[in-house]
Amino acid sequence: MRPSPGTGWLLAILSAILQVLIFPSPALYFLCWIALAPLLVALIDRRYAASLLRCVLLAYLCGILWYAGSCYWIFHVMHYYGMLSTAAAIGILILFCLYLALYHALFGLLVGLLTRSRRFANARVLLIAPVLWVAVELARAHVTSFPWDLLGYSQVNNLPLTRVATWTGVYGISFVIALVNSVFALGFILPRGRRMAVGAIAIFAALALGSGVLVSYPEAHPTHSAELLQQNLPLLSTDWTPVYFDHTIAELVQLSDRTELAQAADSQPRLIIWPESSAPFYTSDPRVRHWLAALATDTHAYLIVGTLGVSRSGSSDQAEVFNSAQLVLPDGEFGTRYDKIHLVPFGEFVPFRHLFSFAGSLTREIGEMSRGNQRMVFNLGGHPAGTFICYESIFPDEVLQFVRNGAQLLVNISDDGWYGDSGAPGQHLNMARMRAIENGRWLLRATNNGITVSITPLGQVLASIPRNVRTVLQAPYDFETGTTFYTRHGDWFAYACAIISILALIVAAFGGRARPALRQ
């Protein structure tokens, strides 16, 4: 029986729903093995995608719905912190989805072009579809700088499969997932006689690969422990009077200086980490410097503190403000400062301000940030540590540069309160966990209001504390000196996929006339 014209649209919608469900929350990770298959069937079968335009529109619809379901927290940010009306915030969310869904549309375009070439039968297109998918994910990371929830993150709890990331980064896991989906899709478009055999292969592959989530992590034996302060400070507060400021920072220092956590005087210095937060902790403020120096000397600890760094360029009286991580040494001296390089659009700066003047309220509280220019590592008594800030954790090619610069420990400070009670904090955590896996490093993640954790080089969350409470996490960790293949060679696999995609398009372009609609 011939499918109805609307079946293709229903397949695209089904694929979008499945892609939403595989990420936090609800984090139904096992659905990733079939999440792309409905879209692939819709794109490959000419009964659903009779024209190239239909391919693009089917994938575009899928992308719009996926972004709306996964990144709905954009509304919360724009409405509650951008001070936009409900209607305006919804409008921004819609525009956001329409814009970023263009990558799904691009994937649909690439698949559609190949299916219409004499050189590529449908089975061949499905085999190359995972390569196209990875190439599009790479474009998301470098063109619009928003590689949020790449497909591979859905398997961050799959210990055997995540070993792939030490060679290829998260993109290799995306490839494996997309390949299994392609085999499922192939089973749907093949003649009935071969459909059962291919379907059985796809099911076996999904079960075999997916069963890795049942593998237990080996017992970790860290030799160090850090204190990660979860400040739980309000994001937009009008209460930062001098009295409130002194009371707050004194309370945070007191919480960090718990005598029961102190080590013997002749032992190695402690490590205390404060997160990124909206507090006005300027490095140029004498009160901040006094409190932090006192904490470092009283506890004989290295401090890594989320601050607002201030610098003056040349003879100009205009000060530059940075979103920074400040190292304070055990003797109270202020050491190296890392200034955040990859800033958040519309959060820390407004691109094309003359076009997006409405977004100025998002940066009004702290002003626009300046951009750092060097990935500094902190010397913790002979052990280098790399600290990246919030949004930077979603860029694998940037985090690995800290390890290339010698970091034996990774630290991530963040303020995820902007997301509200959505799935975004969990999504953000999984991306940070993948950075630990890719580089084979312990990762200490201190956040303003959660999720604050200690992560092993295998990506296991070894210790955590509840969200939205002011407390300290005793976070086990260790230093690692070896480097992974991925750290040394970066996104070679993703770029290889991009090159193969370009070559496939060239072959398709010179492949002659379009092939018959139902040729397999």
Quick one: which H or E segment has residue 323?
strand 319-328
The encoded tokens of residue 412 equal 């991530």
Alpha-carbon distance 484 to 477, whole Å? 19
Alpha-carbon distance 106 to 188, whole Å? 23
Lowest average pLDDT, out of 44-48, 171-175, 306-310, 434-438, goes to: 44-48
For the segment 393-416, the average pLDDT, to the nearest whole number, is 96
pLDDT tens for residues 80-134? 877 889 999 999 999 999 999 999 999 999 999 999 888 888 889 999 999 999 9
pLDDT tens for residues 247-281? 999 999 999 987 555 544 446 789 999 999 888 89
Residue 450: band (very low, low, confident or very high) from pLDDT cuts 50, 70, 90: confident
State what percent of residues in the chain have pLDDT above 70: 90
For the segment 372-389, the average pLDDT, to the nearest whole number, is 95
Residue 393: band (very low, low, confident or very high) from pLDDT cuts 50, 70, 90: very high
Q: How many CB atoms lie within 10 A of CB 63?
A: 27
pTM over 0.95: no
Pairwise pLDDT comparison (153 vs 264), residue with the higher score: 153
- Say whether 18 sits in a helix, a strand or coil: helix
Alpha-carbon distance 151 to 155, whole Å? 8
* 8 Å CB contact between 412 and 432: yes
- Say whether 306 sits in a helix, a strand or coil: strand
Pairing assessment for the beta strands 301-312 and 270-274 based on DSSP bridges: parallel
Residue 420: band (very low, low, confident or very high) from pLDDT cuts 50, 70, 90: confident
Question: Residue 78 carries which DSSP code?
Answer: I
The span from the first CA to the last CA of the chain, in angstroms, equals 19
Quote the distance between the C-alpha of residue 359 and its chain's center.
Answer: 23
| pLDDT surpasses 50 at 443 | yes
Strand partners, 387: 411
| pLDDT surpasses 60 at 486 | yes
Residue 519: band (very low, low, confident or very high) from pLDDT cuts 50, 70, 90: very low
Lowest average pLDDT, out of 169-173, 309-313, 358-362, 479-483, goes to: 358-362
| pLDDT surpasses 90 at 183 | yes
| pLDDT of the residue at 223 | 94
| pLDDT surpasses 50 at 164 | yes
| Sequence-ordered list of residues with C-beta below 8 angstroms from that of 496, at least 6 positions apart, any chain | none
* 8 Å CB contact between 310 and 320: yes
Alpha-carbon distance 131 to 136, whole Å? 9
Active site residues: 276, 340, 390
Residue 311: band (very low, low, confident or very high) from pLDDT cuts 50, 70, 90: confident
| pLDDT surpasses 80 at 516 | no
Lowest average pLDDT, out of 43-47, 179-183, 305-309, goes to: 43-47
Alpha-carbon distance 520 to 508, whole Å? 16
| pLDDT surpasses 90 at 319 | no
Pairing assessment for the beta strands 453-455 and 443-447 based on DSSP bridges: antiparallel
For the segment 505-519, the average pLDDT, to the nearest whole number, is 68
| pLDDT of the residue at 227 | 96
**What angle in degrees, to the nearest 10, is found between the helix axes of 52-70 and 7-21?**
30
Alpha-carbon distance 55 to 59, whole Å? 6
At which residue do the structure tokens 């008594």 appear?
381
Helix, strand, coil percentages (3-state) for the chain, rounded to 5, are: 50, 15, 35
pLDDT tens for residues 330-372? 999 999 999 999 888 766 666 655 555 555 555 454 457 899 9
pLDDT tens for residues 230-243? 999 987 666 788 88
For the segment 463-476, the average pLDDT, to the nearest whole number, is 95
Alpha-carbon dihedral 122, 124, 128, 130, rounded to 10 degrees? 60
Q: Residue 44: is the preceding peptide bond cis (ω within 30°)?
A: no
Q: What is the largest CA-CA distance in the chain?
A: 81
The encoded tokens of residue 209 equal 């690969």
| pLDDT of the residue at 378 | 97
